[in-house]
A and B are shown apart, each in its own frame.
Chain A
Amino acid sequence: NAGVMQNPRHLVRRRGQEARLRCSPMKGHSHVYWYRQLPEEGLKFMVYLQKENIIDESGMPKERFSAEFPKEGPSILRIQQVVRGDSAAYFCASSPPPRVGHYGYTFGSGTRLTVV
């Protein structure tokens, strides 16, 4: 009964390259959330996806960042033309459909992106 799986755990990219971060939700979960943790900061909401649908991307930077959650396969957070400021830990969480009286998410172990 695996939890939320993220890979890779660590990713190093040179400036200008693309970064692809993967997230496989818990079994039976159809909702995925991405959060970013900058150094010495709390996590910040980026995007909320259901299968084949972006529900809320209000936390995504306007350029270079995109996310998808296809019908088959993991959710992907894609960062094009990475810059040093993109260095952070990126966490994914999953849940069944949210309801009133939030019960808390299960988070993955994160992907730590370093841009050199």
Chain B
Amino acid sequence: AQSVTQLDSHVSVSEGTPVLLRCNYSSSYSPSLFWYVQHPNKGLQLLLKYTSAATLVKGINGFEAEFKKSETSFHLTKPSAHMSDAAEYFCVVSDSRGGSNYKLTFGKGTLLTVNP
């Protein structure tokens, strides 16, 4: 079985300061991991994905995440927050097994607030 724990339900930062959104996962097999962003009343946008290539993954809008197998973590970071980054962020895992790799398991989300 796979699961995702987002360690913070709400993170608040000032504009221009670093962002860290924490995610731990559990998976019986080699996982694929993703971060999605959801702006208010909008759909989900894929920020970045890890699929067993490089452990440091770069995404859109300056975000990146590092896959750490020993810590079962996939934290999302950005060096400098922008007001437009304010949104809900979801960490997502999928088992890589061929039989059920279509099923995504979402964390409960972290709401990022960016203060001027």
Contact = CB atoms under 8 A, between A and B. Distances in A.
Contact of A91 (B44, B46, B107): B44
B99 to A, nearest CB: 10
Contacts of B34: 104
Interface in B70-109: 90, 94, 96-98, 100-109
Contacts of A41: 108-109
Interface centre among B4, B46, B104, B109 (most CB of A within 10 A): B104
A67 B10 CA distance: 34
Given A42-B90, A42-B108, A110-B43, A103 B102 contact: no
A48 B103 CA distance: 8
A65 interface: no
Nearest to B51: A101
Contacts of A102: 32, 49, 51, 94, 96, 101-102
